[in-house]
């Protein structure tokens, strides 16, 4: 494994060809777009964002040959709503899905045995039929559209499935709960339920009491046969190969490094060697136990990185590299459960990543995410931007790239001028969030200011104010000193919130 | 009064430093590298361009935790800076004994580089707070004279900047800088030493191609016989191999050689130690860049002890035959194959030069202190003799001239294998800061044909291993040479070499400049015995036994000629002849194949050509292109 590090410099090379003529020819060719969304990967989890322990040479290579965003935000701090807003270009005051809703009125949706037999128990609350998504828009623009990975925006038998929401191809987890194991008993390929060669080990199974937690053999039930991540990568590769002659859009909703901690042994071994021995995780904080939880987390990130490297190599092999945009980002900040230790990795660096500050919170650690874009010949290598932007900007950006207009009002602003360094970049006056969970939260980023409400459900509507230029960890509330800023934030909160259609996402304190 | 006291203390410190042990204890903080402001994060940058590939390494100081790790390379086009590449600075560990330090190098490899014109470049780091600017020169293909400056041995008892060298090099404006080894004497602190080297020489390195070869002190040993990378048991190294970690050796090579053209065959040796031998074209000169230490056999245990150290022979009665190991290695099969193949390639090339750490001779009699006489030193490439001869045989087949260093004693030697002067010339350049004195003080008069020059002891001699060497010049440490820049440098025979290679006349002019001299002044003097001018053809000095017919070429000037001895298919030599009329010499009678023309596609081959003893054969081979 050491070899990977040694090879790092040469793998990061960017070649400057005689591009003018080639470029001119490509003006007429629509670029392929691959948008990779990691799951619960923190702002500080990548080498190119300052990670010191986990190695991510391939993703770093994207950064060095492309652009890094340092002020990019998810639209929502958990899986389903983040994905909804990414795909629809609307912020959490306007979006359909504003939280993770397991849609429990269908029955016991946490019974994995039952779910395996009854697809109507799978999945999350669906996107409505006829929703405008990146998928529907790029299809209009002549793209072949695919999603591989974790969907989470509508159960298998609903109008919300990917094939009804603008995607020609789907392979992966329909359901976020199913993604609580990387060895599920089935995955979905379009509308077909594909059985896998794994025995049923329900997520959140603990290490048996009689088992020796220090014996790696005790964990055999948590590494089975068909590893979902590998299967998904294979399908993704096939999708690219199948569509190499026409423009394609691939939304790779990669389920890594979301827990459970399940990573290929070679990578775990690599990090055990690097970090040394450690305390086992026996499963008391959910998901699955692991003999080497720290090594496993790092292993998952490096495996994801390896997958990215494989995609880049494939594009080069197929001659598609020069005309493909690759975007890499994450759905929200780092996790706090399932045996992860985000503070040890400083996964949200320079922000706080402890429980209550990372995933599922509107604090910076929960919503500030890495975003890297690479587009040979269009994006200047090694660029870094502090443009204030959000995932709900991705839809208008992709629309501008392919030359179409979304219908209706979109909250996002295209950041294409920042990517290419050409044209005028329109700026957000603010980025808005509301989150009808974790005590009820609402936040606004406006210039250097961050306003946040943390306990709305307890009727606490106080707005805390932080100056992020001086206080990235949101420790020093200055709302007393800047009442006019707080006032302005309050009025924007009022203006941007619209009541959700789904009861689950309504906030009664706002009169919904 | 206070000021005076201060001066005395400074003088004292200098004196103490001068006499102190050169290898300072490790960990001593003689260079603060950890508190460099972001603005100064880039120490220096080295590059080469070969076959339209630019390779550039930027050496950074350690970056603070939250400073951006991306490093960018920009070039100036039509007055605008344009980013052409970016990379992440390497944070790989330096490896034991510097495992707590990181490499802090940023590497760029740009293909399809336009080498037909000069480009200003700049490196940006630390979130673009730091910039470092230099010049990538165009390939000087139209230049008649290619100038190489050669350096070696940057002893650490004087860590000052080298303003004398910088000024002179800027004035002499060489096309290539060659640092043959021992850029660092800080055995366990290469990172710091390399950064200091960058402070000292970055100003001339940044604007022209540079070749650096790590030698023994660079990788932390007094001597190194690499034996293809095995582990040495002590840092004296005489049992063969490398004492410090493979990672450390690779980190040193990463810093010093990454920017060299891609390796000819980079397959690592034992323990993953990297291999970099390669070639570099500058104008119409092709340089082989050799590693004459990495594969070499170590002496300990292989030969009977004949002195206080396994590598030093002090016994005057010793029999040189007993130390020759026929199977002993210097360059090794891989590099010999490389030289044989590369030596046949002459496309766009008029002359070939080999660069390596040290010369193929043991040309010194006194070592360290004047009173210490050594008969033979196995750290020199005079040993093992058979391997030395094999290397010289390979090099003369392309009329190769050899530039090297390491010896702390500048010499110009014409090497002999079976007879005096039957192989090529070498120029061993003087040390930048001479850590260890050596003297050429033969006890007897030379044999054979005299060599012109005012120095004593020039001419044909056996070296300590009974190798035939013909001394043309040497620069012994001497009390006579106290110069204005600082007596110690002159005394200890410090300086640098300059080689002027004329691609038209094929003359090779060697200059040897002492430290402290200002070459821009009219009275600037070189070391006694220099300059020396030879011709390319002198590098296969072997006397002809027979001749091929005279060849007259029309429709082509200066064709490439390859002579092959048919009975064994051995390539006698390959060279670009001058003019259109010449008579190839050979060294035995028989039939030969001659290939003439331009590689790769415009060659004519003539088989069964008889060589005859008489130079004045009537037969003429007329060849029309």
Q: What is the CATH number of the domain that holds A354?
A: 3.40.720.10
Secondary structure (DSSP) of A441-510: EEEEEETTEEEEE-BGGGTB-PPEEEETTT-TT-----TTT-HHHHHHHHHHHHHH----SSGGG--GGG
B397 & B376 share domain: yes
Give me the mean pLDDT over the B183-206 stretch.
98
* Cβ atoms of residues A404 and A141 within 8 Å: yes
**Chain B contact set for A376 (CB, 8 A):** none
CA–CA distance, B201 with B188 (Å, rounded to integer): 21
More reliable by pLDDT, B23 or B489? B489
CA–CA distance, A369 with A431 (Å, rounded to integer): 14
Helices (H), B173-264: 190-205, 246-257
**Chain B contact set for A384 (CB, 8 A):** 68, 70, 127
CB contact under 8 A, A47 and B88: yes
pLDDT exceeds 60 at position B164? yes
**Chain B contact set for A383 (CB, 8 A):** 83, 86
Tokens 């093992």 — which residue?
B384
Q: Total structural domains in chain B?
A: 3
**pLDDT at res. A66:** 96
Residue of B nearest to A384 (CA): B127
CA–CA distance, A283 with A208 (Å, rounded to integer): 10
Do the domain assignments include residue B59? Answer: yes
3-class state of residue A387 by DSSP: coil
Residue of B nearest to A380 (CA): B83
B112 & B191 share domain: no
Domain boundary among B520, B540, B560: B540
- CA A331, A334, A337, A338 torsion: positive or negative? positive
**pLDDT at res. A6:** 31
Q: What is the CATH number of the domain that holds B551?
A: 2.60.40.10
B246 touches chain A (CB under 8 A): no
B86 touches chain A (CB under 8 A): yes
Of A123-137, B42-56, B437-451, the one with minimum mean pLDDT is B437-451
Beta bridge partners of A373: A67, A327
Give me the mean pLDDT over the A200-214 stretch.
95
Tokens of B524: 């600037």
**Chain A contact set for B88 (CB, 8 A):** 8, 12, 47-48, 60, 63-64
Question: What pLDDT band is residue A26 in, cutting at 50, 70 and 90?
Answer: very low
Q: What is the pLDDT of residues A99-118, one digit of tens each?
A: 999 999 999 999 999 999 99
CA–CA distance, A125 with A512 (Å, rounded to integer): 19
**pLDDT at res. B490:** 60
CB contact under 8 A, A60 and B250: no
Q: What is the CATH number of the domain that holds B55?
A: 2.60.40.380
A405 & A273 share domain: yes
A355 & A462 share domain: no
**Chain A contact set for B72 (CB, 8 A):** 381-382
Q: Which of B66, B84, B86 sits opposite A50 (nearest CB)?
A: B66
Do the domain assignments include residue A24? Answer: no
Domain boundary among B540, B559, B587: B540
Q: Phi first, then psi: give them for residue A328, nearest 5 degrees.
A: -125, 130
pLDDT exceeds 70 at position A17? no
* Cβ atoms of residues A383 and A68 within 8 Å: yes
**pLDDT at res. B440:** 95
Helices (H), B458-600: 487-491
A209 & A348 share domain: yes
A420 & A448 share domain: no
B334 & B402 share domain: yes
B466 & B524 share domain: yes
Q: Which of A12, A16, A383 sits opposite B110 (nearest CB)?
A: A16
pLDDT exceeds 50 at position A459? yes
Tokens of B16: 């103490």
Tokens of B404: 């090297």
* Cβ atoms of residues B130 and A34 within 8 Å: no
DSSP A286: S
**Chain B contact set for A68 (CB, 8 A):** 70
Cα distances (Å, whole numbers) of residue A61 to A68, A322, B87, B304, B553: 11, 15, 7, 55, 54
Residue of A nearest to B89 (CA): A9
Question: What pLDDT band is residue B482 in, cutting at 50, 70 and 90?
Answer: low
Give me the mean pLDDT over the A409-427 stretch.
97
Please choose, from the candidates B532, B538, B285, B513, the residue with its C-alpha nearest in 3D space to the C-alpha of residue B412: B532
Residue of B nearest to A60 (CA): B88
Q: What is the CATH number of the domain that holds A465?
A: 3.30.1120.10
Tokens 């109507």 — which residue?
A120
**Chain B contact set for A50 (CB, 8 A):** 65-66, 69
- The range of the structural domain enclosing residue A264 comes to 2-12+32-428
Tell me whether the omega of the peptide bond preceding residue B260 falls within 30 degrees of 0, making it cis.
Answer: no
Q: Shortest Cα distance from A296 to chain B (angstroms)? A: 22
Who's near B584: CB < 8 A, 6+ residues apart?
Answer: B547, B548, B551, B561, B563, B594
Q: What is the pLDDT of residues A223-262, one digit of tens each?
A: 999 999 999 999 999 999 999 999 999 999 999 999 999 9
Do the domain assignments include residue A278? Answer: yes
B131 & B267 share domain: no
Q: Phi first, then psi: give them for residue B580, nearest 5 degrees.
A: -130, 5
* Cβ atoms of residues A449 and A465 within 8 Å: yes
β-pairing, A32-38 vs A324-330, is parallel
pLDDT exceeds 90 at position B161? yes
**Chain A contact set for B70 (CB, 8 A):** 48, 63-64, 68, 382, 384
- CA A381, A384, A387, A389 torsion: positive or negative? positive
CB contact under 8 A, B70 and A63: yes
Q: What is the CATH number of the domain that holds B453?
A: 3.60.21.70
CA–CA distance, B27 with A126 (Å, rounded to integer): 64
B84 touches chain A (CB under 8 A): yes
Question: What pLDDT band is residue A37 in, cutting at 50, 70 and 90?
Answer: very high
Characterize B84-103 residue by residue with b for buried, 16 or more Cβ atoms within 10 angstroms of its Cβ, and e for exposed: bbbbbbbbbbbbebbeebbb
Secondary structure (DSSP) of B5-27: HHHHHHHHHHHHHHHS-SSPPTT
Residue of B nearest to A382 (CA): B86
Q: Shortest Cα distance from A134 to chain B (angstroms)? A: 31
Secondary structure (DSSP) of B501-539: EETTT-EEEEEEEETT--TTSTT--PPTT--EEEEGGGG
CA–CA distance, A385 with A370 (Å, rounded to integer): 11
Domain boundary among A376, A411, A428: A428
Q: Which of B87, B112, B272 sits opposite A18 (nearest CB)?
A: B112
Q: Shortest Cα distance from A18 to chain B (angstroms)? A: 7
* Cβ atoms of residues B218 and B244 within 8 Å: no
**Chain B contact set for A5 (CB, 8 A):** 92
- The range of the structural domain enclosing residue B463 comes to 146-540
Please choose, from the candidates A89, A28, A160, the residue with its C-alpha nearest in 3D space to the C-alpha of residue A405: A89
Q: Shortest Cα distance from A13 to chain B (angstroms)? A: 6
B207 & B243 share domain: yes
pLDDT exceeds 80 at position A397? yes
Do the domain assignments include residue B187? Answer: yes
pLDDT exceeds 90 at position A41? yes
**Chain A contact set for B65 (CB, 8 A):** 50
**pLDDT at res. A22:** 45
B92 touches chain A (CB under 8 A): yes
pLDDT exceeds 60 at position A417? yes
A292 & A401 share domain: yes
B55 touches chain A (CB under 8 A): no
Do the domain assignments include residue A225? Answer: yes
CB contact under 8 A, A382 and B83: yes
Give me the mean pLDDT over the B125-153 stretch.
97
């Amino acid at each position: 494994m050491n070899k990977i590090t040694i090879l790092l410099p040469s793998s990061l090379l960017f070649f400057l060809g005689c591009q003018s003529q080639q470029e001119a020819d490509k003006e007429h060719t629509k670029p392929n777009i691959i948008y990779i969304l990691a799951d619960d990967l923190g702002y500080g989890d990548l080498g190119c964002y300052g990670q010191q322990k986990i190695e991510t040479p391939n993703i770093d290579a994207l950064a060095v040959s492309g652009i890094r965003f340092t002020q990019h935000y998810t639209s929502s701090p958990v899986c389903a709503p983040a994905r909804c807003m990414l795909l629809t270009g609307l912020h959490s005051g306007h979006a359909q899905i504003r939280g993770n809703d397991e849609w429990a009125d269908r029955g016991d949706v946490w019974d994995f045995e039952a779910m395996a037999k009854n697809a109507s128990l799978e999945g999350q609350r669906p996107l409505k039929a006829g929703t405008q998504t990146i998928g529907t828009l790029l299809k209009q623009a002549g793209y072949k559209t695919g999603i591989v990975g974790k969907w989470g925006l509508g159960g298998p038998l609903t109008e919300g499935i990917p094939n009804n929401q603008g995607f020609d191809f789907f392979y992966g987890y329909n359901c976020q709960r199913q993604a609580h194991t990387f060895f599920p008993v089935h995955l979905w390929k379009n509308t077909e339920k594909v059985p896998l060669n794994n025995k049923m080990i329900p997520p959140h199974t603990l290490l048996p009491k009689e088992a020796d937690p220090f014996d790696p053999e005790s964990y055999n039930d948590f590494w089975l046969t068909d590893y979902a991540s590998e299967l998904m990568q294979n399908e993704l590769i096939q999708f690219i190969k199948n569509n190499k002659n026409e423009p394609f859009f691939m939304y790779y909703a990669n389920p890594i490094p979301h827990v459970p901690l399940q990573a290929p042994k070679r990578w775990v071994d690599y990090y055990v060697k690097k970090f040394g021995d450690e305390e086992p995780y026996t499963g008391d904080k959910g998901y699955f136990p692991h003999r080497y939880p720290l090594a496993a987390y790092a292993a998952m990130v490096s495996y994801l990185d390896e997958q990215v490297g494989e995609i880049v190599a494939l594009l080069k092999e197929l001659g598609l590299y020069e005309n493909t945009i690759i975007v890499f980002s994450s759905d929200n900040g780092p996790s706090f459960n399932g045996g992860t230790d985000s503070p040890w990795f400083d996964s949200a660096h320079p922000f706080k990543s402890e429980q209550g500050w990372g995933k599922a919170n509107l604090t910076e650690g929960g919503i500030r995410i890495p975003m890297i874009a690479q587009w040979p010949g269009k994006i200047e290598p090694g660029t870094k931007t502090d443009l204030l932007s959000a995932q709900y900007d991705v839809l208008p950006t992709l629309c501008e790239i392919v030359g179409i207009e979304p219908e209706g009002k979109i909250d996002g602003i295209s950041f294409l001028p920042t990517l290419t360094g050409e044209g005028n970049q329109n700026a957000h006056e603010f980025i808005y969030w509301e989150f009808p969970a974790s005590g009820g939260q609402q936040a606004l980023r406006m210039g250097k200011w961050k306003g946040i409400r943390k306990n709305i459900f307890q009727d606490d509507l106080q707005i805390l104010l932080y100056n992020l230029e001086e206080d990235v960890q949101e420790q020093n509330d200055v709302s007393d000193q800047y009442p006019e800023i707080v006032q302005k934030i309050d009025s924007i909160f009022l203006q941007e919130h619209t009541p959700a259609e789904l009861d689950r996402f309504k906030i009664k304190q706002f009169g919904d | 009064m206070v000021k005076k006291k201060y001066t005395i203390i400074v003088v004292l410190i200098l004196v103490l430093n001068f006499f102190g042990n050169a290898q300072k204890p490790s960990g001593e903080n003689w260079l603060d590298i950890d508190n460099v402001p972001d603005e100064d994060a880039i120490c220096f940058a080295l590059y080469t361009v070969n076959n339209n590939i630019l390779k550039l390494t930027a050496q950074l100081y350690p970056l603070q935790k939250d400073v951006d790790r991306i490093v960018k390379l920009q070039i100036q086009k039509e007055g605008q800076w344009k980013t052409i590449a970016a990379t992440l600075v390497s944070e790989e560990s330096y490896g034991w004994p510097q495992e707590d330090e990181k490499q802090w190098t940023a590497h760029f490899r740009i293909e399809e580089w336009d080498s037909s014109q000069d480009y200003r470049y700049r490196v940006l780091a630390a979130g673009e707070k730091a910039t470092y600017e230099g010049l990538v020169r165009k390939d000087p293909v139209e230049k008649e004279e290619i100038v190489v400056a050669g350096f070696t041995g940057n002893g650490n008892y004087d860590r000052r900047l080298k303003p004398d060298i910088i000024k002179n090099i800027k004035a002499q404006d060489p096309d290539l800088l060659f640092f043959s080894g021992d850029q660092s004497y800080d055995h366990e602190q290469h990172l710091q030493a390399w950064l200091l080297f960058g402070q000292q020489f970055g100003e001339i390195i940044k604007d022209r191609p540079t070749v650096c070869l790590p030698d023994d002190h660079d990788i932390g040993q007094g001597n190194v016989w690499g034996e293809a990378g095995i582990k040495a048991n002590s840092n004296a190294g005489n049992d063969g191999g490398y004492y410090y970690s493979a990672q450390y050796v690779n980190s040193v090579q990463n810093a010093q050689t990454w920017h060299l053209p891609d390796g000819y065959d980079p397959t690592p040796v034992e323990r993953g130690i990297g291999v970099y031998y390669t070639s570099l074209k500058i104008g119409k000169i092709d340089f082989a860049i050799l590693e004459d230490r990495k594969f070499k056999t170590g002496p300990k245990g292989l030969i009977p002890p004949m002195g206080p150290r396994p590598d030093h022979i002090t016994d005057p009665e010793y029999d040189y035959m007993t130390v020759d190991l026929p199977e002993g290695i210097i360059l090794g099969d891989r590099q010999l194959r490389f030289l044989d193949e590369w030596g046949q390639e002459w496309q766009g090339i008029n002359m070939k030069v080999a660069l390596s750490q040290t010369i193929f001779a043991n040309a010194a009699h006194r070592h360290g202190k004047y009173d210490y006489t050594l008969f033979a030193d196995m750290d020199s490439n005079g040993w093992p003799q058979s391997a030395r001869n094999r290397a010289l045989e390979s090099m003369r087949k392309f009329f190769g001239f050899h530039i090297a260093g390491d010896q702390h004693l500048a010499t110009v030697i014409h090497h002999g294998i079976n007879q005096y002067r039957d192989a090529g010339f070498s120029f061993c350049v003087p040390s930048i800061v001479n850590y260890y004195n050596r003297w050429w003080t033969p006890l007897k008069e030379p044999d054979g044909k005299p060599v012109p020059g005012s120095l004593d002891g020039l001419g044909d001699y056996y070296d300590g291993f009974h190798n035939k060497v013909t001394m043309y010049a040497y620069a012994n440490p001497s009390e006579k040479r106290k110069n204005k820049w600082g007596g110690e440098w002159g005394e200890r025979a410090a300086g640098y070499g300059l080689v002027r290679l004329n691609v038209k006349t094929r003359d090779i002019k060697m200059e040897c400049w002492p430290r402290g001299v200002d070459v821009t002044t009219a009275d600037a003097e070189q070391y006694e015995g220099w300059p020396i001018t030879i011709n390319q053809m002198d590098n296969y000095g072997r006397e002809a036994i027979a001749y091929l017919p005279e060849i007259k070429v029309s429709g082509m000037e200066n064709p490439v000629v390859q002579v092959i001895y048919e009975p064994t298919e051995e390539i006698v030599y390959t060279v670009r002849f001058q003019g259109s009329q010449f008579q190839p010499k050979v060294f035995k009678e028989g039939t030969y194949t001659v290939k003439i023309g331009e590689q790769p596609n415009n060659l004519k081959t003539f088989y069964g050509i008889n060589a005859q003893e008489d130079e004045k054969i009537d037969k003429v081979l007329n060849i029309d292109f």
